[in-house]
Structure 1
């Protein structure tokens, strides 16, 4: 199975989701520290030029590959990806189940502002504290999203699973 967590920039909630999925961050009830958040691979490291690139984060404990994707504001990127995977499956060029999981619903306002200041304007002194604060606020929601993504993926008999997700209340 291939998991792809996606959102606008592909560097904040997607990186956190991949880290929880791969047990880099613990699902315990403790809020990750600033250092733990900033040590997450690719967290706040990608730039606009990285949009559309699949970033491989690793294999989970079941051997599934975990990727992230920054899709920017494109409304058709995920639909195109879904259709492309269907074409590959129907032509027997790919046999893996692909799970597309949108992390946008768990992005708190602090993280949106932090991403704008840090990635958009290059002002880390303002952006990074907002990103850390946002990440700490939404960590419970991200773990719920990851667990729900895994559950839906296992229960679905579809070869391509597109999960839009919802806003979670932690």
Structure 2
């Protein structure tokens, strides 16, 4: 199985989701500033990195975990799905591909933090907001990862796109 966590920029909630998936962060524990800032790729990617599929590691079951920033594109993930399906047919692979949208977990503080830090380069304003936002979102991101793994294991689809709508996450993570 291949897991690809995606959102707008690919450097905040996706990086945290990959870290939770790979058990590099403790699930459902309050994260420290240091834990957040030490997550690989957290707040390190630039706008020019959007669309790059970044490998984070293999999980305990040997599944690959990736992240990608898709920008505002509504066709990026469906396009990747189509490309993967073509390659599956051509090469006869049975590999499952799971796309999981982390965007619904992004709190407003993280949105502003990312804007100040990544877009404007004002880290002294952006980074504290990002840390606060990561702390606010951490439980929902951990839940999203568990939900993603469960959906992947229970699905018979070769390519699964999980949108993770906000209403579901808010009610289920509590």
TM-score normalized by the length of structure 1: 0.97
Mapping 1:65-80, distance limit 5 Å: 65-80=64-79
- In structure 1, stretches of 5+ residues that fail to align are none
Unaligned runs of 5+ in 2: none
Distance 1:52 1:162 in 2: 17
- CA shift for structure 1 position 93: 4.9
Q: What are the within-5 Å matches in structure 2 for residues 42-81 of structure 1? A: 42-81=41-80
SS in 2 for 1:74: coil
Residue 74 of structure 1 deviates from its aligned partner by 1.1
Deviation of 1:127 (Å): 0.3
2:154 corresponds to which residue? 155
Map of 1:22 onto structure 2: 22
In the alignment, the residues of structure 1 paired with residue 35 and residue 92 of structure 2 have an alpha-carbon distance, to the nearest angstrom, of 39
Total equivalences in the alignment: 169
- What residue in structure 2 maps to residue 103 of structure 1? 102
Change (3 A) 1:96 1:104: same
Tell me which residue corresponds to 1:142: 141
- Map Cα deviations across residues 17-59 of structure 1 (whole Å, 9 max, x no partner): 00000000011x3210000000000000000111110110000
* RMSD between superposed Cα atoms in Å: 0.9
Distance 1:21 1:133 in 2: 21
